[in-house]
Amino acid sequence: MRIVTVRRITQVFFFLLFVWFCVVTTIGMEWWQLRGWPVNWLLQLDPLVAVATMLSTQSLYRGLLWALVTVVLTIILGRFFCSWVCPFGTLHHFVGYLSKRRKRISAKIGLNQYHPGQSIKYYLLIFLLTAAASSLLGRLFGMVSTRPKLSMVVATIVLTGLALLSLLKVMPNPKQAMTILFTLIGFWLVLGLILPAENLIAASLQTGLMDPIPLFHRSINLTLLPFSESLSASQRYYQGSVLIGAIFLTAVFLNFKVPRFYCRFICPLGALLGVLGTFSLWKIGISGDKCSKCQLCDTDCEGACQPADKIRLSECVLCMNCLESCQDGIVSYGTAPSEAGEIPLPDLSRRGFLSSFLSGAMAIPVMRIEGLVGPNFPPSVIRPPGTLAEPDFLARCLKCGQCMRICPTNIIHPAGLESGLEGLWSPILNFRIGTSGCQLNCIACSHICPTAAIRSITLEEKLGQKEYAQVGPIRLGTAFVDRGRCLPWAMDRPCIVCQENCPVSPKAIFAREYFGTVRGGTYRVQNIAGQTLELGGQDLPPGQFATGDYYVMTTHGGKENRWRIAENTSKSVTVAASEPWHAAPELESYIAIQVKLQRPYVDPTLCIGCGICEHECPVSGKRAIRVTAENESRSPGRSLLLPKT
Amino acid sequence: MNQKAQQPTTNRRDFLLRLLKGGISISAACSLSYWLYDATGPGRVKNQNDLVTLPDFSIPSPRGKMSITTGLDRVKTINRGLEALGGIEAFIKQGDKVLLKVNAAFATPPILSATTNPQLVAEVAQMCYKAGASTVVVTDNPINDPSSCFSLTGIGEGAQLAGAKVLLPKESFFQPTTVSDGVLIRNWPILWQPFQGINKVIGIAPVKDHHRSGASMTMKNWYGLLGGRRNIFHQDINTIITELAMMVKPTLVILDGTTAMMTNGPTGGSLSDLKQTNTMIISTDQVAADAFGATFLGKTVAELPYIAKAEAAGVGRADYEALKPIRLSVA
């Protein structure tokens, strides 16, 4: 079989597998719904996820070890992932094929010429990785003030070592090296002394913004699958999906301008794989001097790596098309270097490198000045159960949208700028959208999270049972009653839906009974006939007080007596037969018509912030009971209550 | 492919070199992954910084545990009162590093007596230096903006004139502590950095009406060592004051009852809130000092539950007369 056919089969396989994983990431009774499928497998194979989380957390979480397979194969084979595995790459490959299939060969060749802009992806990669590493860098700088002696020793050893190396003439240009190193060490020491604001020097994982696997997951999960109601647990809505969709479509349609535009110019994963595959053992190249310079090898070159010229190895995505299009039969994939020469490393300028490095290192600290992970935390940002404390969460969240897809109730949504620029598309809960609040017995999101930004929890831990009885259930926040909007508090209307729906036992919402005289509800008794009072004054709305919630209130010797109203006409009220007058109202005395209200209160020691009350609240716009982040378990600094005694 | 196999030896060398590089890269990637591999993921609670514990700064008093000196002039009453207890030298030795915990809670002028009197701070700092102290640190984590508090109360200037070092709280100064036998102060940040190297602590507090706790005196003054969202502790004010008194074992406390804030506390804001009570209390027992101080506000010990709680916790004695206070008067 031709190698290109093998490649196409592989691509189709991984593409379908990816789509399949997206579809099955849903909870339900159907055979095709989540049944232990390894739905994160492609995210785990993605080395950018692994490398970036290693930088931001100094650990490699569980399944991300799969990335090692990709890394090892890339070191041996080159950047095969892009043309053989990556489903986003396959989509671009296919759309690119559609866009140029009717073009003339010369036009196709023109489209596949190397462009210096292909270096942009490396700068993006540097920027994103440095942002992920800024806490590591901060620690390096912080060493100067926390461990000054050690820092001095390190500086001395490095400089002496360098001096020795230059004396031994190992260095080609000792003077330049010395200058650079002196500057760097001076920079390190000075910056270390003036950089004490530890809370600002923090890392956050931003690779997911552009990393193709999380991007593709996010796009399919949040902007394509919602169109099919039958492929999800319920009709899906996602706030802010328009931006995600627009970026996705732009990336796809750019293939009509330049094939594999995203892969060539933007993809930071491609850049990482390009660097990893620089010294790969096998590679594309030409042998002999028989090349007729026909350029036909560029016709379908996916990477725009100029195979017949000095091949740019970091751009070559191993599509193997050049092997087929070469008329001279001299292009091959093998261990020998190309006889036309090779450019193994990408074109990077020192200035470009430094500016992307420095802006990456500065980006997160500058964002942290907003104080959104500190005193200025946004109270409306509620994270899924099991989410780590905000700084640790931001160091791990990929923005892949897997939790948003799996959530059976559709309450997990991609954040806009609610939690700052660095929290873009991170999961936040929206209790208005969806089918309910956070379900008491559901821990799906915590188990699907590929990077443990939402750490995996057990039901016992979520509910505070067994070994967790002492610490109690996981709280997402606390519900607060907005008395100005609540029907029984502000509008004399019985309701108490929030209390009824509170899922914890004993309920965190309780009610206090209150009798309120209805508007203009004082009447003079004109006649008493059995259970019926004929009333003077304004007409009553017939039947309105017959609901069972209304009472006649009389004052007798300073004591209030109430009788439930069974029916009313415009001139009379009749109290229920079961409640005979025990102290009948007197003629010409005044009675009040009252409504019995149950007014909700929240017991903050019991409220877990699940948001079911907010979801059910009949005040449909801005709810009259809303959950905010106070007292959430993940942030000890936001506690509302004293520690349990 | 066949053609390639017959490449000259330079290619073989090149290939071997690349094989070596590849091998090194692969083993580096594998060992890094192995080293950083985390099978369990992050746990429920993040590893906290090590807890710190304030040491015991108290020393036995040679000549008495409490002096009560009446007089208008703070400089005179503090001097006479200390003399009666054996002089400052009985408490501060050569080379000591002293921390003065003042009440600088509000950014108000000293005349309103919402904060520790600056003249008193300066005098105590000078006395410490005279007794041979090598360092005197003045600190507090006030309620209003720290730099405004220390400048507007005059405490900053007074302390500096006496040669003391003023330490304004910074985020990095706080470390979590746990009071053993406490229920509220568990893993809670306190103003730790200023205590580095300190071996003597003197608390200096005014006598003030306090809406939630009834009275703010020497024990309540330690509230200013708490960091974090400490106001949640107002849900249980008597317990938190007791635990603060358990947390700090000072060398001395000075309760300045020269002017007492009788109403509208603890901020005050008007001279009409104040009353001249003309008394300086110095004690090694903070419970006794506060029990006596309550009388200035017309309150009994029973009206301030934290005094009985602190006594029950073994912090000191509410029956100050049992300590046989030395009573003095200066003209």
Which CATH number fits the domain that encloses residue A626? 3.30.70
More confident residue, B262 or B9: B262
Is residue A523 located within the same domain as residue A583?
yes
**In this model, does residue A159 exceed pLDDT 90?**
no
Asked if B9 has any chain A CB less than 8 Å from its own CB, the reply is no
Domain range for residue A565?
512-600
pLDDT value for B2: 42
Query: Is B26's CB within 8 Å of A75's CB?
Result: yes
pTM for the predicted model, two decimal places: 0.88
pLDDT tens figures, A493-552:
999 999 999 999 999 999 999 999 999 999 999 999 889 999 988 889 999 999 999 999
Mean pLDDT across the stretch B250-265? 94
pLDDT value for B9: 54
A58/A640 Cα distance (integer angstroms): 32
Domain-embedded: residue A612: yes
pLDDT value for B49: 61
B249/A318 Cα distance (integer angstroms): 73
Among A387-391, B44-48, B153-157, B287-291, the minimum mean pLDDT is found in B44-48
Q: Which residues of A touch B186 (CB under 8 A)?
A: 643
For residue A644, the chain B residue with the least C-alpha distance is: B183
pLDDT value for A32: 80
pLDDT tens figures, B175-213:
999 998 899 998 899 999 999 999 999 999 999 999 999
The three-class DSSP label of residue A271 is helix
Domain-embedded: residue A635: yes
* B182: Cβ contacts below 8 Å, ≥ 6 apart: B243, B246, B247
Domain-embedded: residue A402: no
CATH of the domain at B199: 3.40.50.11440
For residue B43, the chain A residue with the least C-alpha distance is: A455
Is residue A629 located within the same domain as residue A582?
no
Buried b (16+ CB within 10 A) or exposed e, B152-178: bbbbbebbeebebebbbbeeebbbbbe
Quote the Cα angle for A303-A327-A85, to 5°: 30
Query: Is B41's CB within 8 Å of A455's CB?
Result: yes
Domain-embedded: residue A384: no
User: CB-based burial of residue B322 (10 Å sphere; 0-12 exposed, 13-18 middle, 19+ buried)?
Assistant: exposed
Domain-embedded: residue B119: yes
The three-class DSSP label of residue A396 is coil
B 211-230: CB under 8 A from A: 228-229
Is residue A525 located within the same domain as residue A487?
no
Report ipTM for this prediction: 0.83
Q: Which residues of A touch B26 (CB under 8 A)?
A: 71-72, 75-76
Closest approach of B35 to chain A, Cα-based (Å): 8
Domain-embedded: residue B90: yes
Domain-embedded: residue B5: no
Q: Which of A75, A198, A392 sits opposite B172 (nearest CB)?
A: A198
Q: Which of B21, B40, B232 sits opposite A642 (nearest CB)?
A: B232
Structural domains of chain A, count: 3
Q: What are residue A573's DSSP bridge partners?
A: A533, A568
Q: Are strands B66-70 and B165-167 parallel, antiparallel or unpaired?
A: unpaired
Q: Which of A199, A276, A642 sits opposite B236 (nearest CB)?
A: A642
Q: Which residues of A touch B228 (CB under 8 A)?
A: 637
Closest approach of A280 to chain B, Cα-based (Å): 7
Domain-embedded: residue B199: yes
Is residue A492 located within the same domain as residue A616?
yes
pLDDT tens figures, A406-461:
999 999 999 999 999 999 999 999 999 989 999 999 999 999 999 999 999 999 99
Domain-embedded: residue A569: yes
> Prior bond to A38 cis, omega within 30?
no
Asked if B312 has any chain A CB less than 8 Å from its own CB, the reply is no
- Let me know: does A452 contact B42? Beta carbons within 8 Å: yes
pLDDT tens figures, A33-56:
877 889 999 999 999 999 999 999
pLDDT value for A175: 74
Domain range for residue B271?
66-329
Structural domains of chain B, count: 1
Q: Which of A279, A392, A452 sits opposite B18 (nearest CB)?
A: A279
- Let me know: does B217 contact B225? Beta carbons within 8 Å: no
Largest CA distance in chain B: 114
Domain-embedded: residue B303: yes
Query: Is B29's CB within 8 Å of A287's CB?
Result: no
Domain-embedded: residue B293: yes
Structure tokens at A12: 């189709």
**In this model, does residue A171 exceed pLDDT 70?**
no
A472/A59 Cα distance (integer angstroms): 29
Mean pLDDT across the stretch A119-144? 90
pLDDT value for B167: 96
Is residue A574 located within the same domain as residue A609?
no
**In this model, does residue B4 exceed pLDDT 70?**
no
**In this model, does residue A471 exceed pLDDT 60?**
yes
A586/B186 Cα distance (integer angstroms): 64
Phi/psi-derived region of residue A466, left when phi > 0, alpha when psi is between -120 and 50, beta in every other case: left
Q: Which residues of B touch A68 (CB under 8 A)?
A: 29-30, 33
More confident residue, B48 or A271: A271
Domain-embedded: residue A148: yes
A262/B75 Cα distance (integer angstroms): 78
Q: Which residues of B touch A335 (CB under 8 A)?
A: 4, 11, 15
Q: E strands along A272-345, which residues?
A: 283-286, 311-312, 331-334, 342-343
Is residue A517 located within the same domain as residue A596?
yes
Is residue A179 located within the same domain as residue A138?
yes
For residue B40, the chain A residue with the least C-alpha distance is: A62
Domain-embedded: residue B46: no
Is residue A520 located within the same domain as residue A634?
no
In the block, which residue shows the tokens 């330690």? B222
Mean pLDDT across the stretch A262-282? 94
B118/B126 Cα distance (integer angstroms): 12
pLDDT value for B6: 47
Query: Is B44's CB within 8 Å of A59's CB?
Result: no
Is residue A520 located within the same domain as residue A593?
yes
Chain B interface, best mutation among A40, A56, A71, by max B CB count within 10 A: A71
Identify the domain boundary among A169, A194, A219. Answer: A194
Is residue A541 located within the same domain as residue A552?
yes
Query: Is B33's CB within 8 Å of A75's CB?
Result: no
Mean pLDDT across the stretch B135-141? 96
B295/B292 Cα distance (integer angstroms): 6
Mean pLDDT across the stretch A585-595? 91
pLDDT tens figures, A597-637:
999 999 999 999 999 999 999 999 999 999 999 999 999 88
- Let me know: does A535 contact A571? Beta carbons within 8 Å: yes
A124/A116 Cα distance (integer angstroms): 14
CATH of the domain at A569: 2.40.10
- Residue A35 phi, psi (nearest 5): -135, 50
Query: Is A456's CB within 8 Å of B41's CB?
Result: yes
Domain-embedded: residue A147: yes
Is residue A642 located within the same domain as residue A620?
yes
For residue B11, the chain A residue with the least C-alpha distance is: A336
